[in-house]
Amino acid sequence: MSVNYVARPWESKLFQRCRRAWDLAARERQDYEPIEPAQVFDFGEAIHDALDVYYFPGMWDWGRAIVRPLTLAGFEKSMRRQRDAYTQTRELSAAQLQDWEQHLERGTGLLERYFAWASEIDRFTPIQVASQFDIALPDPADPERGLTTAEGRPLQYRVRIDLVVIDDHELYWLVEHRLSSDPHWPELTALQLDEQALTRSWAWQLGFLAKLEGTIHNELRVVAPAAGKPEVQVRAVPGAGGIITQRSTESFRRTHIPRTGLEIERRGIAVALEMQDMTDPLLRIYPNLSWEHCSRCAYRSPCLAMTQGADERPILQVGYRKRVGGDFELGRLGSVWGFVPEIHRVAEHRAPGTEQ
């Protein structure tokens, strides 16, 4: 156990969804993870890995003709890495192999179309990609003080961001990549209320002591492209922080949402209150049985045993293990930042192709 109590956004999500799942999974709790990956690949993760290459700050000045094949190679490498992890102990069925191959082709096509779309609207310079950093949680009642657990352990939040860019006016924006196969784009309000974007914005401002102008929601949709040149729709609507602009085709949508300082600050207060709940010595743990959550829960087998009054420990011993790796996966692109104290930064960047 480290001196600090560290929480992460995925643990917050589990805590909100089901305290039993959170108790089994969170690093500060039982810290179990399934031994075998539940799926052959995560398509969204592979597309994210590709975009990390495309927007790698050290290559932003390179001709895009050089970067595009590297991006496609990053996508394929991610798909292969995930498939290899799955097949360490199992064979792929013919249907699984076909699905993997189809997604490899689909992702390559999607990225090639994205390159054309992005080249017309990427009016910024990336400054950070796939960065992970910790921040000390300020006490909402006294922001000069850091929050601690009842035993005096400082509370920290560990965040990983997709991308931060600086625009032509030297304003910082936090970019969120989102992949979806939904036939409809989410409503604008869903982006304005995007918890992940606000949490990352708040953490980034606190960690890097700089102000963000807002968030850019970079959405990619897996749909069959219409023939011919895609029709571009442009929209501008007033928002609390300024004019929200949106450009979209059937496959891609880019939304700039200027944010007010208050809405980012309020998200930070919500995170602090939630972490105080998480670390409350009187916290009660109970399951939240709901098929919406249980159908995709990685802890369904031990939970079923507990629900039926059986012993869950043999199931945990066979199918789960205590986490072995750190938060930052070796072999993936990105950087880890430390703050010693808050203002001093140390970064480790790896250029694509030099990862171990």
* Site of interaction with ligand SF4 (CB under 6 A): 18, 20-21, 287-289, 293-294, 297, 299-300, 303
Q: How far is the CB of 315 from ligand SF4 (least distance, A)?
A: 12
**CA 50/CA 60 separation, integer angstroms:** 14
The nearest distance, CB 288 to ligand SF4, in angstroms, is 5
When the beta carbons of 236 and 289 are compared against ligand SF4, the nearer one is 289
How far apart (Å, rounded) are the C-alpha atoms in residues 342 and 328?
20
Q: In the 8-state DSSP scheme, what is residue 59?
A: G
Q: Residue 220 Cβ, how far from ligand SF4 at the closest point, in Å?
A: 28
| In contact, 60 and 35? CB cutoff 8 Å | no
Of the pair 17, 68, the CB lying nearest ligand SF4 is at: 17
Match 């968030």 to its residue by tokens.
215
Q: Residue 96 Cβ, how far from ligand SF4 at the closest point, in Å?
A: 24
**C-beta of 294 vs 336, nearer to ligand SF4:** 294
How far is CA 230 from each of CA 54, 113, 225, 251, rounded to the nearest angstrom? 22, 10, 8, 9
Give the DSSP H/E element, type plus range, for residue 199.
helix 195-208
The residue among 17, 12, 33, 34 whose CA lies nearest residue 286 is 17
Which of 110/297 has CB closer to ligand SF4?
297
In this complex, which beta carbon is closest to ligand SF4, that of residue 291 or of residue 343?
291
- The smaller minimum CB distance to ligand SF4, of residues 137 and 294, is found at 294
Q: Could you tell me the smallest distance in angstroms from the CB atom of residue 299 to ligand SF4?
A: 5
**Residue 327 near residue 156, CB atoms below 8 Å:** no
Instruction: For residue 346, count other CB atoms closer than 10 A to its CB.
Output: 10
Q: Sheet harboring 242-248: ordered strands across?
A: 124-129, 163-167, 172-180, 212-221, 252-258, 242-248, 233-239
CA distances from 203 to 6, 156, 179, 199, 207 (A): 14, 10, 23, 6, 6
Q: What minimum distance in Å lies between the beta carbon of 271 and ligand SF4?
A: 22
CB of 193 to ligand SF4, least distance (A): 23
In angstroms, what is the minimal distance from the CB of 320 to ligand SF4? 12
Helical packing angle, 43-54 and 94-121, nearest 10°: 30
When the beta carbons of 15 and 124 are compared against ligand SF4, the nearer one is: 15
Nearer to ligand SF4, 98 or 290 (CB): 290
**Is the backbone of residue 11 left (phi > 0), alpha (psi -120 to 50) or beta?**
alpha
